Each structure stands twice: as C-alpha cells, then as structure tokens.
Amino acid sequence: MSNDDIILKVEHLSMKFGGLMAINDFSFEAKRGEITALIGPNGAGKTTVFNCITGFYKPTMGMITLRQKSGKEYLLERLPDHEITKTAKVARTFQNIRLFSGMTVLENLLVAQHNKLMKASGYTVLGLLGIGGYKAESKRAIEIAEHWLEMADLIDRADDPAGDLSYGAQRRLEIARAMCTEPEFLCLDEPAAGLNPSESLTLNKLLRSIRADSGTSIMLIEHDMSVVMEISDHVVVLEYGRKISDGTPDHVKNDPKVIAAYLGVEDEEVEEVIATVESLEGGENA
Ligand SMILES: Nc1ncnc2c1ncn2[C@@H]1O[C@H](COP(=O)(O)OP(=O)(O)OP(=O)(O)O)[C@@H](O)[C@H]1O
C-alpha cells in the first residue's frame, strides 16, 4: 500500500491512566476513502483511542499521523484539539447526542460553519453587513447545509427544532453537522447506539453515500455488528487495550481470538474455541 492510500497511521499508541494501561502498544492504519470500524468488548479502549486521535487525550506514548489528500501530514498527538478539527480536518461525533435542541435543524448546520463565516466577515460589522466575502460565504454555507440535509434524508425537517426529531434522525443530523465542516477524516462514536432496525438501515445508507460522494474517510466505534459487518471495509479489534485482529469484516468475524473475546472466554480456552471454529468450518466446507 502506498503512503497516499493511507489517511491515518497509528503507531505504538499507549495510554496510561494511573496504574491502568488502557491502550498498550496499539498500531493500525486506516485507508483513504474507506470505512474502518474499531470494535471490541466493553472497556477494551475504543473510546480512549478515539480521544487520542481527536485530541481529547494526549497519549502516553506513540504517534498518530494524519495524511491529507494534498499530501500534507499532521502529527495529531502534537496538535491542540481545535487545530485537529480546523487544520488537520478531523471531525467527530459523540456517544451522547450533542445538538442545540432549541435551534432548527438548518441552524444547527449553520452554527457548525460559524468559524468559516466569521473569517469571511473579517471579524468586522461591515463584513457581517455584506462588504467583502461574507455574503458569498454565507450563501455557500446554506448550500452545504442543504446538501447534507438531503443526504441525511432530513431536508423536509430543515425548519423544525432539532429536539423534535426522532432519535435516529438526531443521530443523522449530528453526522450531517460534522460533514458541514468538510472533514477529511470523520470519527463516529457509536452512531447506531439506540437505533431501531429501520433507523440503522437509513444510517448505513448515509454512511455509504458519504464514502461514495465526498471521499471522506470514516472511522467508527460500534457495538452493533449488523452495522459493522454491513458497511465496513476494514475492522480492527481491541481487547484490554491490545489489538487482537485486523482485516476485512469476513476475516475478523471468523477469527477465533475475536470470537473468544466476545464470548468472554479465558486465554487458556482460546485454543478450544479455535478448534471448535475450525471443526465447524470443516463441516460447512464438507
Ligand atoms: N479518563 C479516564 N480515567 C481513568 N480511566 C479511564 C479513563 N477513560 C477510560 N478509562 C479506562 O480505560 C479503559 C478503556 O476505556 P474505554 O472507555 O476507552 O473503553 P471502550 O472500549 O470505549 O468501552 P465501551 O465499549 O464500554 O464504551 C477502561 O478500563 C476505562 O475504565
């Protein structure tokens, strides 16, 4: 794989909280234009990895390199979190919904573009009144917002308060809001949590269309295996802060170490799980 194909390279990442090694020498690569899923049992360290990538935590050790389409590289562990968003162009959503529920759906998407609009105003009242690039930029901000409302199947709800949307629609609005910042790398923390099956399908459609239309690379933490196996190009599995598997959804799904981790079996029983999986596979192939 050439360097151009890789958007994110995590090397020997470790994160210690007091005496607890939450992440231990963890390395993986995410390919440009792909959907990469980070999975693992509760407490495996997935959110900690996300927090290191997005600048909420500074890792104890390791390197996190983001390479943009232009070839520009950023060492994320050295950047303050606002620079990770603004300059490196990494956007994220959170496990719990963080919308402005009293604002309309459209307003939520315009607020996300506030920095860009203020810059176009030159930070002056005259600028805000339309002298200079502000008018053109605000027109573009509305176009971008409308585009992502269409993609998220929310255009008919543009003028409704965000708090009136169903849970699944609010999750899609959060993703649309992140996309309005035009990220190169989008990190989604459990986007399918709490969704019903039909909302999960709409989410899958949105994520696929982001991958196809915008070229944005996506990384997600997800417990819902129907979403992970359905839409991911690449799955990385963590257990107790260490990587135990890395590959295509099919590879990971059949990896005895992953099965053992999810079943919660002890290390000494992994061999037994491997033997069982192999005998089942033998049966299927017979
Ligand atoms: N700020 C913190 N201070 C101390 N310990 C922490 C902190 N954040 C996470 N941990 C610990 O690090 C380990 C990994 O937690 P993390 O939240 O990253 O796991 P996770 O895989 O995201 O779990 P879940 O699937 O339940 O969200 C856990 O043992 C957790 O208690």
Indicate if ligand 1 lies below 6 Å from the C-beta of 42: yes
What is the value of ipTM here, to two decimals?
0.97
Residue 71: per-residue pLDDT: 94
Report d(CA 197, CA 200) in Å as an integer.
5
Indicate if ligand 1 lies below 6 Å from the C-beta of 191: no
Indicate if ligand 1 lies below 6 Å from the C-beta of 45: yes
* Across 254-261, average pLDDT: 87
Name all domains of the chain by residue range, CATH numbers in brackets: 1-89+183-247 (3.40.50.300), 99-181 (no CATH), 254-286 (no CATH)
Closest CA to 231 of 248, 208, 214: 208
Q: What is the pTM of this model?
A: 0.86
Q: ∠ CA 102-221-250 to the nearest 5 degrees?
A: 140
Q: Name the CA dihedral angle for 66, 218, 109, 78, rounded to a multiple of 10 degrees.
A: -20
pLDDT tens for each residue of 100-143: 878 899 989 988 776 665 565 555 655 556 655 666 777 888 88
pLDDT tens for each residue of 156-205: 998 999 999 999 999 999 999 999 999 999 999 999 988 998 999 999 99
Nearest C-alpha to atom 25 of ligand 1 is from which residue?
42
Q: Which atom of ligand 1 is nearest to the CA of 238?
A: 21
Q: Which atom of ligand 1 is nearest to the CA of 40?
A: 21
